[in-house]
Amino acid sequence: MRGRGRPWDKLLHYSLCNVTGQQDCTFFTRKEILRLHARYHELAPHLVPMDYTNDPDCKLPLALIVNMPELKENPFCSRIVESFSEDGMGNLSFNEFVDMFSVLSEMAPRELKAIYAFKIYDYNVDNFLCKEDLEKTLNKLTKEELTPEEVQLVCEKAIEEADLDGDHKLSFADFENMITRAPDFLSTFHIRI
């Protein structure tokens, strides 16, 4: 395998069509994608190749990615990484890594963020936010400082507020209807890298 070499060697080794492809699929510019690649490489220098011309199939495990300073303090870090991984276990390839930060960047539109927010909060991955999902979210947010009765009350009220079709759980349409009216959604659902 080639050594690290000088920084601009990256420009040569990194496949040209790969970067332009990612530029069109995400909200990042070429320079930002190269910078992301440096961050990705930093996470596991022995696993991540500098040379992507062979289109290698390299995936980093959840534990490594969740250690990044941008994600470490987030109570939903593992859910975020899992939602963007193909296998649902949190193993991200570089493309998925870029995709994750692209959706969470400030340039992504509200509708796209709403879709991924729904995925993140859906713990049992059944395409509905049921009461258990809400309970888990709440417990993560308050570090389990609320009493069980209070948790019950909050989840019931939440479902009551947003459930439009009366099935006692929130479908994506309910969630989207609620989150698009939230004034703070765009500013809080944002990671800068």
**Binding positions for other proteins, 132-171, rule CB under 8 A:** 134, 137-138, 141-143, 145-146, 150, 153-154, 157-158, 161-162, 164-167, 171
Binding span for other proteins by CB under 8 A among 26-34, 37-45, 58-66: 26-34
| Residue among 64, 74, 130, 131 that touches other proteins (CB under 8 A) | 74
Non-local (6+) Cβ contacts of 78 within 8 A are 62, 66, 90
Check binding of 60 to other proteins (CB under 8 A). no
In the complex, the smallest distance separating the C-beta of residue 153 from other proteins, rounded to whole angstroms, is 6
In the complex, the smallest distance separating the C-beta of residue 24 from other proteins, rounded to whole angstroms, is 6
Binding span for other proteins by CB under 8 A among 40-48, 58-66, 94-102: 94-102
User: Which amino acid appears at position 81 of this protein?
Assistant: V
| Residue among 4, 5, 106, 124 that touches other proteins (CB under 8 A) | 106
In the complex, the smallest distance separating the C-beta of residue 133 from other proteins, rounded to whole angstroms, is 10
Q: What is the total count of residues that contact other proteins (CB under 8 A)? A: 81
Residue 6 to residues 14, 142, 148, 154, 193, Cα–Cα distance (Å): 13, 47, 57, 55, 23
In the complex, the smallest distance separating the C-beta of residue 43 from other proteins, rounded to whole angstroms, is 16
Check binding of 91 to other proteins (CB under 8 A). no
In the complex, the smallest distance separating the C-beta of residue 91 from other proteins, rounded to whole angstroms, is 13
Check binding of 173 to other proteins (CB under 8 A). yes
